[in-house]
Amino acid sequence: MKDIHSYWAYIVLAILIFTVINAIIGLSQKKKFTDKDLRLGLFTLIVSHIQLLIGLGWYFMSPWYKALKDSGAEVMADKGARLLAVEHPLMMIIAIVLITMGWSKHKKKTEDTAKFKTFAIFYGLALLLILSRIPWTNWF
């Protein structure tokens, strides 16, 4: 489960980066919001939610969850353990919420620039949160 979560993360990160860059380009160049842009946002939403489900499954089987249940104070005192047991899961959930909000809000917009702006803001913030709490030492 850990391997699936790690490999799927590469896919999520690549698609999210591509979607954010596409939204910024679309916004700055005042492009028309096409079906390609819509599908890219939807695909990002779908793969990120799949990652969330895989991550939650792995989290409740992980040694960090067990350690947090058994001795929460020790986990919170250790920076590395706290990242894996608390910070990473919470930030990823918040990032998925931002992606979901961005998807929902873009549908209510009627102007193309507003749709790109919504994706750029919400998906961009999600990307920043994800990049800030990836356990880089465990990833490579």
Distances from the Cα of 30 to the Cαs of 54, 88, 93, 103, in angstroms? 37, 35, 31, 19
Distance CA 24, CA 13 (A): 16
Q: Is the pLDDT assigned to residue 68 strictly greater than 90? A: no
What pLDDT score was predicted for residue 138?
75
Closest to 114 measured CA to CA, from 43, 34, 33: 33
What pLDDT score was predicted for residue 17?
98
Tell me the pLDDT tens digit for each residue of 69-118.
888 888 899 888 888 888 999 999 999 999 999 999 999 999 999 999 99
Residue 87 in contact with residue 133, Cβ under 8 Å?
A: yes
Phi, psi (rounded to 5 degrees) for 29: -95, 5
Alpha helices (H) along the chain: 2-28, 35-61, 63-70, 72-77, 79-82, 88-108, 112-132, 136-139
pTM of the model: 0.91
What pLDDT score was predicted for residue 140?
63
What pLDDT score was predicted for residue 71?
86
Tell me the pLDDT tens digit for each residue of 21-56.
999 999 999 999 999 999 999 999 999 999 999 999
